[in-house]
Chain A
Amino acid sequence: MELFLQFLFSGITVGAIYALIALGFNIVYNATSILNLAQGEFLVFGGLLMWYFLEKLNLPYGFSFLLALGATGFVGLLMERFTIRPLQKTADPLLLILITIAFSILLRGILMFLFGKDPYGYRPIDEGPPLIIFGAILQRQVLWILLFVVLTLIFLYLFFNCTMIGRAMKACSVDKTSASLMGINTSQMVMLSFFLSGIFAGLAGILITPITFIEYDKGPLLTIKGFTSAILGGLGSNWGVMAGGFLLGILESLIAGYVHSGLKDALALLLMLIMLLFRPAGLFQSAEQARLRKL
């Protein structure tokens, strides 16, 4: 029981991170039908930048947090401006996939150039002793992570339902042409979507680095995991992909605990392949729904 709870806690922790990456995937996908394969690098960027502000420049925690978050969002913005925008006119899906991969490599190179190959970590938000629940250890940072996930959910709900700009984005993801006929500046929405996805991935990076440490080349695996979560939950729905993230995190942690820790990544990937091949619409929506979302 203790063991199970322990696995569950660590699963929820990783799951929250996957959920945030998957959310970034989904927001960009809804706006552009592009899967941004640089998502994992955004996360690493957020974590390392936070380390730089906090440990190198000795800025206050909250200020570093906001700065790192903004910077990651800005990288997303730059990416859209300089790589996606010029290529979108060609409308060649192959090129659009390749450019996100190319940019992810570039970002990884920049990260290595700036920070080297060492792993980095810094103090968690709350430095109190870990909690013990039914014998299982729960780090305080995990509670903060969950709090931020809940805040993200509230933000998403308010943003997409109660603000004009959020509703405009939603309209764009349903039908771009009609949205632009309604006077929505679709190109700005695309930019905003990259900004948001950068912010969410950056948030994940900032939150997870105190627990796991992070180095420049963690990105690709996280990208794949985030994508797997998105596929599990079904691309298209923000709630779905986040649920997928938690599901994947818990599943992985249980596999690592009860089966074999060396196989957890391979099994997670296998799960993704199986989902992609047999149920690409995800667990929570039917193929019909997915088609309506223009999958």
Chain B
Amino acid sequence: MKDTILNPNTKTYIYLLIFYIVILSAGFSIKDPYILTIFVFAGLNALSALGLSLLMGLAGQISLGHNGFYGLGAYLSAILSVYYKVPVLLSIVIAVTFTSLFAILLAIPALRLKGHYLAVATLGFGEIIYLLLNEWGPGGPSGFGDIPRLYLGAIELSSPLHFHLFVWTLFAVAFFFSLNLANSTYGKVLRALHASETALRTLGINIVSLKVKIFILSAFLTALSGAIYAHFVTFVSPATFSVFYSVLLLMMVMLGGIHSLWGAPIGALFITFLPETLRPFKEYDILIYGLILTLGLIFFRKGIIHLLEVGAKRWLPFLK
């Protein structure tokens, strides 16, 4: 009896372990630093997308302002380490903490809004951050560089491989906790939030506080990813943090599969590697993104993860 209850959970943890090992061994076996760099970006995107997936898939709230959190995390950490000589690890911690606190300020009023209103409110927030970075960020629209790289203890993360290991390990840890969260009572309440707010309210559950908490967690993960981005690329400019980043995250979550947290890493890998395979059409990336997203939403709503599940059930019957 106990076994059947634990079963789905242990299974996802095993999948996570397998996924982690596969990704790491991919990192060790790929010698091309360019492809490894893309893997690092995929990892960063996966971390951000995980944040958005928690908010959208689990709690059913929408955000088009995650580029704001990404940008705040990156810029704050970069500014602290470049201009105030704060050690990198500490600057990341401060930047992420500050951004999360900032998210509270936005979340408390914004999450009283629903649907389209929330979408546009967050869109406005992201755009404000983008405009302010252009206006007041060091270097203005062209950004600034020479951001110190990340140190872990005495080890400088200098090669893409180091970053690859670091970012995906971080992702695995975040994912582990997210899975825990999704399976906890909290997670179940959040999923219920997706289904019916009225029902939850009649059960005496404080919906606003719940939404605010998940929003902060979501912003936290995205800010973390942004801060690491700054110390990986060692250069930031506002263009990276435009609303288009939010749209990319949205695509990752939707195409990966919104109903499962697994959609985030799968979608992030897919979307991050997509431009590389579409090299000849690089000029028309917006058109291709638009097509994929539109057609995906109309015909392919369950996402890649659903395909994988169906495929696994058919070809790997022992997994059942």
Q: Are A and B a genuine interacting pair, yes or no?
A: yes
Contact indicator A101/B247 (Cβ below 8 Å) = yes
Contact indicator A98/B288 (Cβ below 8 Å) = no
Point out the residue from B113, B131, B294 that lies within 8 Å of A83, measured CB to CB: B294
Whether A60 is near chain B, meaning CB under 8 Å from some CB there, is no
Given contacts A101-B250, A108-B286, A109-B289, whether A87 and B62 have CB atoms under 8 Å apart is: no
> In the complex, what residues of A have CB within 8 A of residue B110's CB?
273, 276-277
A280 to B110, CA, bound (A): 11
> In the complex, what residues of B have CB within 8 A of residue A278's CB?
109
Interface residues on A, range: 35 or more
A99 to B297, CA, bound (A): 7
Contact indicator B290/A105 (Cβ below 8 Å) = yes
Contact indicator A97/B119 (Cβ below 8 Å) = yes
Interface residues on B, range: 35 or more
Given contacts A106-B287, A277-B121, whether A87 and B297 have CB atoms under 8 Å apart is: yes
Contact indicator B117/A224 (Cβ below 8 Å) = no
Nearest-neighbor residue (CB-CB) of B246 within chain A: A101
Nearest-neighbor residue (CB-CB) of A85 within chain B: B298
Contact indicator A106/B294 (Cβ below 8 Å) = yes
A86 to B109, CA, bound (A): 33
Whether A134 is near chain B, meaning CB under 8 Å from some CB there, is no
Whether A150 is near chain B, meaning CB under 8 Å from some CB there, is no
> In the complex, what residues of A have CB within 8 A of residue B119's CB?
35, 37, 97, 101
How distant is B136 from chain A, measured CB to nearest CB, in Å? 9
Contact indicator A99/B298 (Cβ below 8 Å) = yes
Given contacts A34-B116, A87-B298, A99-B298, whether A110 and B124 have CB atoms under 8 Å apart is: no
A277 to B291, CA, bound (A): 34
Whether A162 is near chain B, meaning CB under 8 Å from some CB there, is no
Contact with B along A250-274 (1 / 0, CB 8 A): 0000000000001101100110110
Whether B214 is near chain A, meaning CB under 8 Å from some CB there, is no
A153 to B127, CA, bound (A): 31
Whether B200 is near chain A, meaning CB under 8 Å from some CB there, is no
> In the complex, what residues of B have CB within 8 A of residue A265's CB?
127, 131
Given contacts A95-B301, A101-B247, whether A35 and B120 have CB atoms under 8 Å apart is: yes
Contact indicator B135/A263 (Cβ below 8 Å) = yes
> In the complex, what residues of A have CB within 8 A of residue B125's CB?
269, 273
Contact indicator A97/B290 (Cβ below 8 Å) = no
How distant is B143 from chain A, measured CB to nearest CB, in Å? 16
A152 to B146, CA, bound (A): 55
How distant is A259 from chain B, measured CB to nearest CB, in Å? 12
Point out the residue from B113, B294, B301 that lies within 8 Å of A276, measured CB to CB: B113
> In the complex, what residues of B have CB within 8 A of residue A220's CB?
127, 243
Contact indicator A86/B298 (Cβ below 8 Å) = yes
Whether A149 is near chain B, meaning CB under 8 Å from some CB there, is no
How distant is A221 from chain B, measured CB to nearest CB, in Å? 7
How distant is A157 from chain B, measured CB to nearest CB, in Å? 27
Whether B221 is near chain A, meaning CB under 8 Å from some CB there, is no
Whether B103 is near chain A, meaning CB under 8 Å from some CB there, is no
Contact indicator B121/A109 (Cβ below 8 Å) = no
Residues in B41-95 with C-beta less than 8 Å from chain A: 56, 60, 62, 64
Whether B123 is near chain A, meaning CB under 8 Å from some CB there, is yes
A210 to B127, CA, bound (A): 27
> In the complex, what residues of A have CB within 8 A of residue B174's CB?
none
Whether B132 is near chain A, meaning CB under 8 Å from some CB there, is yes
How distant is B320 from chain A, measured CB to nearest CB, in Å? 29
A59 to B78, CA, bound (A): 54
A169 to B32, CA, bound (A): 61
Whether B186 is near chain A, meaning CB under 8 Å from some CB there, is no
Whether A160 is near chain B, meaning CB under 8 Å from some CB there, is no
Contact indicator B294/A102 (Cβ below 8 Å) = yes
> In the complex, what residues of B have CB within 8 A of residue A90's CB?
301
Point out the residue from B115, B287, B297 that lies within 8 Å of A110, measured CB to CB: B287
How distant is A141 from chain B, measured CB to nearest CB, in Å? 28
> In the complex, what residues of B have CB within 8 A of residue A83's CB?
294, 297-298
Contact indicator A224/B116 (Cβ below 8 Å) = no
A89 to B288, CA, bound (A): 26
Residues in A91-141 with C-beta less than 8 Å from chain B: 93-95, 97-99, 101-110, 112-113
A93 to B113, CA, bound (A): 13
Given contacts A106-B293, A109-B289, whether A101 and B64 have CB atoms under 8 Å apart is: yes
Contact indicator A97/B294 (Cβ below 8 Å) = no
> In the complex, what residues of A have CB within 8 A of residue B289's CB?
105, 109
Nearest-neighbor residue (CB-CB) of B253 within chain A: A98
Point out the residue from B60, B288, B297 that lies within 8 Å of A109, measured CB to CB: B288
Best-buried of B64, B120, B289 by chain A (most CB within 10 Å)? B120
> In the complex, what residues of A have CB within 8 A of residue B116's CB?
34-35, 93, 97
> In the complex, what residues of B have CB within 8 A of residue A239's CB?
none
A-B pairs with lowest CB-CB distance, top 8: A109-B287, A106-B290, A105-B290, A277-B109, A102-B293, A109-B286, A35-B116, A109-B290
Q: Known pairs A105-B286, A109-B284, A112-B287. 20 more at Cβ < 8 A?
A: A35-B120, A83-B294, A90-B301, A97-B62, A97-B116, A98-B250, A102-B296, A106-B293, A109-B288, A112-B284, A224-B127, A263-B131, A265-B131, A266-B135, A269-B124, A270-B124, A273-B110, A273-B128, A276-B113, A277-B109
What are some 16 contacts across the A-B interface (CB < 8 A)? A35-B116, A83-B294, A94-B115, A98-B250, A98-B293, A106-B293, A112-B284, A228-B124, A262-B134, A265-B131, A266-B135, A269-B124, A270-B124, A273-B124, A276-B117, A277-B109
